[in-house]
């Protein structure tokens, strides 16, 4: 997302600024009652919200939301159970309890936004391989997809991006098994299989696009294959180089915003689309 801001900020007439950061506001960033932090051990996972202002008053809000795993408790709210007399019975349901990050973000934080997001990009990272068996991951993933499906606005478009290929020779010995290419491949394959029914539903609904009743889901983008033969793109075996992130950001901008007036780079939309084709093959 930082690379995306740098990319958009270089376009003629566009200015991007970070409006607010979790690192500065802590729990107040989310504006959710009694927000609580669990274990915070990911240095690059802090949420931030930014605004890019373009020509003719065009404005785009870009937000990165922390989600280190597909199921974790790094963001939560206090327990609310009716027999403890700590529920608001004027709400429905009266005892909504966000006991994990996914519920907190999608049932709490985003639900209260006046304008729901037009696009949500879910980037699968390598952390799940470090703590879960394949069966555990499939179960957690299925639960997460259900949370998404039942809480997203009908006008939202959802995209999934696979984890890139790790480079074991650049990693410390103790990490090579838990972030191995085999584990990444299993995890990415599980994502593709899990989202397939949602893709089919979206394809069927596209025939009557004027009557959207649910969020639309799109195929996963393959970042594993294109990075498999490019160990030079990785800094330490799992974190990629800055120019790789910028190429990925260009692909994301080209696919999400297109090349409409006011957002086209100096080289036009064709260069952005070409980068998208080379980097992000649809699985």
Task: Sketch the domain layout of the chain as residue ranges.
Answer: 1-115, 116-256
Query: What is the predicted pLDDT for the residue at 258?
Result: 60
Whole-structure pTM value: 0.85
pLDDT digits (tens, 9 = 90+) for 126-176: 888 878 788 999 999 999 999 999 999 999 999 999 989 988 888 888 777
- Which CATH topology does 116-256 take? Rossmann fold (3.40.50)
Q: Which residue has the higher pLDDT, 251 or 177?
A: 251
Name the phi and psi angles at 142, rounded to 5: -60, -40
What residues does 63 pair with on adjacent strands? 49
95-113 average pLDDT score: 90
Task: List, in sequence order, the alpha helices (H) in the chain.
Answer: 2-9, 22-25, 101-103, 134-151, 181-205, 224-228, 242-257, 269-279
Task: Using alpha carbons only, give the angle 113, 117, 118 rounded to the nearest 5 degrees.
Answer: 150
Tell me the pLDDT band of 79, cut-offs 50, 70 and 90: confident
In this structure, the strands spanning 119-123 and 157-161 are parallel
Instruction: Report the pLDDT averaged over residues 19-48.
Output: 86
Q: How far apart are CA 46 and CA 77, in angstroms?
A: 18
Say if residue 266's pLDDT is above 50.
no
Helices (H), strands (E): how many in the chain? 8, 10
Instruction: Report whether 193 contacts 142 (CB < 8 A).
Output: no
| pLDDT level of residue 209 (50, 70, 90 thresholds) | confident
Residue 263: CA count within 13 A, CB half-sphere: 20
């Amino acid at each position: 997302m930082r690379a995306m801001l740098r990319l958009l900020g270089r376009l003629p007439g566009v200015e991007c600024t970070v409006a607010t950061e979790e690192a500065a506001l802590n729990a107040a960033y989310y504006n959710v009652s009694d927000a609580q932090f669990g274990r915070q051990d990911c240095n690059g996972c802090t949420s931030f919200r930014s605004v890019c202002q373009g020509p003719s008053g065009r404005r785009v809000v870009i937000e990165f939301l922390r989600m280190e795993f597909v199921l974790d408790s790094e963001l939560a709210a206090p327990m609310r159970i009716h027999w403890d007399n700590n529920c608001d019975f004027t709400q429905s349901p009266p005892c909504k309890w966000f006991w994990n990050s996914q519920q907190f973000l999608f049932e709490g934080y985003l639900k209260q936004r006046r304008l729901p997001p037009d696009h949500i990009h879910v980037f699968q990272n390598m952390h799940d391989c470090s703590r879960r068996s394949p069966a555990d991951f499939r179960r957690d993933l299925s639960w997460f997809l259900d949370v998404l499906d039942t809480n997203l606005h009908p006008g939202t478009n959802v995209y999934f991006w696979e984890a890139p290929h790790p480079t074991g020779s650049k990693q410390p010995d103790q990490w090579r098994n838990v972030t191995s290419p085999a584990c990444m491949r299993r995890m990415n394959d599980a994502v593709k299989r899990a989202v397939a029914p949602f893709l089919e539903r979206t394809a069927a609904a596209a025939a009557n696009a004027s009557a959207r009743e649910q969020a639309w889901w799109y195929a996963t983008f393959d970042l594993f294959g294109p990075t498999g033969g490019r160990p030079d793109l990785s800094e330490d075996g799992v974190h990629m180089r800055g120019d790789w992130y910028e190429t990925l950001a260009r692909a994301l901008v080209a696919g999400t915003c297109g090349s409409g007036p006011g957002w086209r780079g100096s080289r036009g939309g064709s260069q952005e689309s070409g980068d998208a084709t080379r980097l992000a093959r649809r699985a």
